Amino acid sequence: MVHELPLDNPRSGKTIQAVLRPVCTVPVDEATLEALRAALAQGNLVVCVGPRVARSIGLPSRESLATELLGLAIERDPEGVDARAIQAALAAGRGAEALGELRHALGTTFDAVVERGLSDQGHPVPPVAVALASLGERLRAIYTTTLDRLVERAFEGRWPSFATPRAELSQRRRVIVKLHGTLELRGSWVLTHEQARRELGPNTPRRELVEAAYRSHHLLLVGFEAGDPELRELVELFPVRDDATAASHTIVLEHPPTPTERRRLLGVGLEIVEGELLSVLVGLGGHAGAAPVAAASEACPYPGLEAFTEEQASSFFGRHMEISQAASRLGGSPEHRRWLSIEGPSGVGKSSFVHAGVIPALRNGFAPDTPPRWLVARMRPGPHPMRALVETVVRTLGLDHGREAVDHHTAWWSHDPSRSVALLRQHVPAGHAFALVVDQLEEAVTLADQAERAPFGELLVRAIAEGVIYLVTTIRSDFVPALQADLPSLAGLLNEGAERYSLPPMSRVGLREAIAEPAARLGVRVEADLVERIIADVDAGGRARGARGEVRASDSALPLVAHMLRGLWDAGAASDRVLELREYVELGALMGALGRSADGALVGLSPVELAHAQRLLLGLVRIGDDGQATRRTLPTAEALELAGGPAHGEALLARLSGSVDAHGRARTRLLVTHVSEGSPRIDLVHEALLRDWGTLHTWIEQNRYQLVRDEELDRRARRWQEAGSPIDDLPMGRELAELQEGRPHGERAELHRRYHEALRSASARRRRRARRGRIALIAGLGVAALASSVATFVLFRQNDGLSDELAEKNAALEQANGSLAQRNGQLEDSNAVLEQSRRSEREKKEDLERKTEELEGKQATLAMVVDANAGLADLVVSAGEVERVRGHLEGQLLRFEELQRADPSELSWMVNRRNALQLLGDLEARARQWDRADQRYEECLGLTRELTRLEADDALAADYEGDIQHRLGQVAQRLGTLDEAREHHQQALAIRQARAEAEPSDPARRFDVAASHLELHGLGGPDARTHLSQAKAGLDQLEREREIAGHPEREAALQRVSPRPTSELEPKAPSRGPLTTKEISRVLGKKAKAVKQCGVMYDATPGEEIFVAGKIDLGTGRVTEASALSARIGASLGRCIAGAVEEITFRRGTGEGTRSFGHTFEL
């Protein structure tokens, strides 16, 4: 009987033909039920769920979806799609073939329509899925053949689900396997014929998984009809069997099959049960009915900017697939499956993911071969990570965690980590696992001293190695390199023994669920238009495409969405039971809501209270080495002091912590309190405030200079203390002045004050020595002016954009000379000489500018200017000149592009474009603008490959491609895309190995190979140990050939693979006095070619040429050689020259201070 029925998709008015068959009413055979009950009791029953379960609540069939997509394709381009062929394929039951053609015709529109059409958001969970979930504890596994997440919703997160089947899943119990992928991961979809051939063909993991289940377990197929294409595709995965073998699997059909269909099903070993599906499931002990809905509640299910806790796990949605992937990585062999490192950028939701996702998943058995019960200790490292660790462990074990007990354990565990292992073995109950959650692991690097962090790392390594804990950590991906530098023991385990999971931004499907589902569970409706508007606003803020093709929210969008949803709930959702689009707009929408509500917390404060609030909020901010603002925590006592003292600070703290106003409404919470080491500490509720609250951002920028000075004081004071608090070799000059501007603050305020006193004492001693050496000082002033002139020229030729920096240095020189003149009137004559030198310097600079303009169009000069700039990115960033220099370089790039368009046959302009793009990438990387750096390096890589194709500059192009692949790998690691980073480094390694084989005598090429091996080791994986071994072998060989010392980059690499005292790598001090005239001539001879290439085309004094020679050493990476040279020429050519070389040495990142030329004279 044929009828015209409305399409399953309620959004379409089209119709299709469907064959109606009478529903079976025959009672289910009791013997069949007994066989199924026996398989269920043995834990051997695997249920395969077909498409009819989803269609029972109105989701479209594959054919219906194809019909809707065909209509869209015809509307878009009637001539671009073969509608007749697609309709014929649908009529013949070849829906996958039709979808393949439509996917090709529609592109990304295809994905968007599928994602929207198959979304089960807002649909009830069907009774069949509820009945299956009620059988869950006795089922072995569930395999689904659709993209929807109805089964996962029915299980309410109790079972992990996997969209990328692996062979070991056939051995696991209590798992949901998505044979055709899942909606939130577009790359996992199996909809089209091409996707089915790739994912379900011979020897594929999905087919092997079905074959293993068919051979080892009893399959129960539900939600199919005999003619469904999905059923035909599933049984085609069954292994070939002997026809004489009795049926060993079961299919439930609600409509009688045709004779042909019956023979086909019996032929693959399926016993056919004709009857109502729910009756069969109830007969097995399942409970039919709708999924339970929580009682209406006024409690807000959205925590706003605060992280979800484990207690709020029932309201945590949108991450089930990621939770399954991450939590399942723990367990198994103790040495490789006991540390789960959750990595990702700020704002991606790492803390919520762990506390409300991973930890409940561990309790639900997501980690294979782990104990059924868990003890969970939670901590943040803070400034005293060892003490925080001790406190959380003893408290979780139910032991005495008073101050004296914690002090006792801290002292013993720091000295002997084995004591912690013994304590855990003694007090963790049998049948329990002990999980230690270290949230924001980067605090062990950013807040703790070396003396604090070292035993902390060693204890964690020991506890994991002994198998007494499972470690779960969160860390910002941009801090992983700092962890590797400052906690080498822990970093080594991270690379070789940890399961590293890079948490991606939430997918669009997950975001829809995270918005609507928490409210729906409490009986509150979220308007569909509101959901789509929030998704659109997140899209407008930028999205990223995941590794498997899924569209994901930008890193910073999640906290803004969470804050907005909290605001919508507080606006009255508990009473009117709906979240409306109108209220969303009134609150300022996604980008405006946070700033508006945060400013609201400050409304009504007096000017004095507002000043105290500013002091407090800025006290919770630190400026990192990369110039980025991040959070810091404060003890409550210090926070009260900043807030106006105990008398007034309590009220301000309460206000900023979300207290209720005079009208009974809760204010926006800006601060949170958490307990660390037994004491409460104050923290900003989320780093989104630093990015997206305009008021705080303005305050930070207005006070950035002082915040940087404060951080620098803290960093240098800690380094001074770790060095034994020496009284000599302390900073001087402008560096001294800047450190004295830093304010003692925080828990190390007393240390800061002692360091200030040491600086003042050292400065006084230097002034006394300066008075005794004034005559020598006067004689050196003229040489200093000449040195400054040459330095100005060299740096100017390297980068026009650094002229302002040189002007500042000259101004500093004038200020120092003026100060010296005031202290002694006898300097007037020398000042006159100096002024004459300055006039000469200005004339030379103008002449050089003119020469530079004349040479600008010449290929060799331009290429060398760009190349010489390669080492200046650090200086540009530290000087705060990123925007200006970026603009200058982009202007140069545009000029090269114009010249290339004017003369396409001249490849030199393409070479210069490539070089400029690399420098721009280096600049963005130093400024930690990773996305920009990635873009520039990709453009550079494209030009390099084009040059190779044109057979121009082939050897150099290969070198460049290897270097750029290396840089792209480093940037990808910072962005958290570890697979992409690994691919780039592997390509770099292949190129570098080929170049090293072509030039085996070149140590630089062999070092490049070792460096690539070292990067691949740092990314972990099964080959990490092999890469480490290869890196170590290469570096050891270079060391034997004496090609390590004098090359800081190689010294650092060797230190990573073979730690040793720094003194072993430092060059030996010269065994004799200053250079003789003959030796000076020999040095100048070696450097003459380099000096000429840098454009020094005028007569120079020997002192100037020595200085330029040292600068050439620096510019080519031989920093140690240049420093040794400056030390040896100091006595014969003046300490001013040594100071100038020392200045540049610091700029290359190897010195201890920014001593300017003038301040060097205090020696």
Across 642-658, average pLDDT? 84
Rg (CA), the chain: 35
1028: pLDDT strictly greater than 70 = yes
1036: pLDDT strictly greater than 90 = no
Lowest-confidence range among 147-156, 882-891, 1097-1106? 1097-1106
Highest-confidence segment of 358-362, 566-570, 1048-1052:
358-362
Percent over 90 (pLDDT), the chain: 29
Q: How confident is the model at residue 860, as a pLDDT?
A: 36
Across 589-617, average pLDDT? 86
More confident residue, 514 or 1102: 514
Helix (H) or strand (E) holding 972: helix 954-974
Q: Dihedrals φ, ψ of 223, to 5°?
A: 80, 20
Q: Per-residue confidence at 275, pLDDT binned at 50, 70, 90?
A: confident
Q: How confident is the model at residue 1083, as a pLDDT?
A: 45
| pLDDT one-digit tens code per residue, 59-72 | 999 999 999 999 99
Average pLDDT, the chain: 76
Q: Per-residue confidence at 636, pLDDT binned at 50, 70, 90?
A: confident
Q: Per-residue confidence at 607, pLDDT binned at 50, 70, 90?
A: confident
The tokens of 157 are what?
A: 């997160």
| pLDDT one-digit tens code per residue, 915-973 | 888 888 888 888 888 888 888 999 888 888 887 777 644 566 777 888 899 999 989 88
Across 1031-1051, average pLDDT? 75
**For residue 77, what are the CA distances in angstroms to 12, 95, 426?**
19, 21, 72
Q: How confident is the model at residue 1150, as a pLDDT?
A: 36
Q: Per-residue confidence at 24, pLDDT binned at 50, 70, 90?
A: low
Highest-confidence segment of 525-534, 722-731, 1127-1136:
525-534
1004: pLDDT strictly greater than 50 = yes
Q: Dihedrals φ, ψ of 439, to 5°?
A: -85, 140
Q: How confident is the model at residue 597, as a pLDDT?
A: 84
Percent over 70 (pLDDT), the chain: 72
Q: How confident is the model at residue 31, as a pLDDT?
A: 81
Cα gap 565→589, rounded to integer Å: 10
Q: How confident is the model at residue 599, as a pLDDT?
A: 87
418: pLDDT strictly greater than 60 = yes
Contact criterion met (CB below 8 Å) for 597 and 563 = yes
The tokens of 496 are what?
A: 């070789």
Q: How confident is the model at residue 353, as a pLDDT?
A: 96
Q: How confident is the model at residue 651, as a pLDDT?
A: 85
More confident residue, 888 or 292: 888
Lowest-confidence range among 99-108, 143-152, 442-451, 666-675? 666-675
546: pLDDT strictly greater than 60 = no
Q: How confident is the model at residue 456, as a pLDDT?
A: 93
Contact criterion met (CB below 8 Å) for 182 and 199 = no
Residues 6+ apart with CB under 8 A from 1117: 871, 1047, 1048, 1049
Q: Per-residue confidence at 87, pLDDT binned at 50, 70, 90?
A: very high
**Residue from 1079, 1054, 1082 nearest 1066 by CA:** 1054
Contact criterion met (CB below 8 Å) for 1038 and 1044 = yes
Q: How confident is the model at residue 747, as a pLDDT?
A: 77
866: pLDDT strictly greater than 90 = no
Across 463-490, average pLDDT? 90
Across 540-552, average pLDDT? 48
Q: Per-residue confidence at 336, pLDDT binned at 50, 70, 90?
A: low
Cα gap 587→276, rounded to integer Å: 50
851: pLDDT strictly greater than 80 = no
Cα gap 559→349, rounded to integer Å: 8
790: pLDDT strictly greater than 50 = no
824: pLDDT strictly greater than 70 = no
Across 33-39, average pLDDT? 89
Across 742-759, average pLDDT? 86
More confident residue, 263 or 735: 263
Contact criterion met (CB below 8 Å) for 668 and 598 = yes
Across 622-649, average pLDDT? 84
Q: How confident is the model at residue 926, as a pLDDT?
A: 81
Q: How confident is the model at residue 1060, as a pLDDT?
A: 45
Across 373-397, average pLDDT? 93
Q: How confident is the model at residue 206, as a pLDDT?
A: 92
Q: What is the pairing mode between strands 525-526 and 470-476?
A: unpaired
Highest-confidence segment of 556-570, 775-789, 1105-1119:
556-570
Q: Per-residue confidence at 138, pLDDT binned at 50, 70, 90?
A: very high
Tell me how far apart the terminal alpha carbons of the chain are, to the nearest angstrom.
104
Q: What is the pairing mode between strands 671-676 and 679-684?
A: antiparallel
649: pLDDT strictly greater than 80 = yes
Q: How confident is the model at residue 854, as a pLDDT?
A: 45
**For residue 1030, what are the CA distances in angstroms to 562, 1014, 1019?**
47, 8, 15
495: pLDDT strictly greater than 50 = yes
Q: How confident is the model at residue 1021, as a pLDDT?
A: 77
Q: What is the pTM of this model?
A: 0.61
1130: pLDDT strictly greater than 70 = no
Across 1048-1061, average pLDDT? 62
Helix segments in 466-527, DSSP class H: 480-486, 488-497, 508-521
Across 454-474, average pLDDT? 93
Lowest-confidence range among 614-628, 629-643, 690-704, 827-841? 827-841
Cα gap 647→629, rounded to integer Å: 30
| pLDDT one-digit tens code per residue, 678-734 | 678 888 888 888 888 889 989 999 888 888 888 888 888 888 988 888 887 788 877
Print burial letters for 383-403: b (CB count within 10 Å at least 16), e (below 16).
bbbbbbbbbbbbbbbeeebee
Contact criterion met (CB below 8 Å) for 494 and 543 = no
Q: How confident is the model at residue 989, as a pLDDT?
A: 92
E strand intervals along 361-401: 373-379
Cα gap 170→162, rounded to integer Å: 12
Sign of the CA dihedral with 681 first, then 685, 691, and 696 last: negative
Residues 6+ apart with CB under 8 A from 178: 144, 147, 161, 162, 163, 165, 188
**For residue 1159, what are the CA distances in angstroms to 732, 794, 839, 1111?**
7, 21, 21, 20
Q: Per-residue confidence at 6, pLDDT binned at 50, 70, 90?
A: very low
Q: Per-residue confidence at 326, pLDDT binned at 50, 70, 90?
A: very high
Q: How confident is the model at residue 1136, as a pLDDT?
A: 36
More confident residue, 456 or 648: 456
Q: How confident is the model at residue 127, as a pLDDT?
A: 93
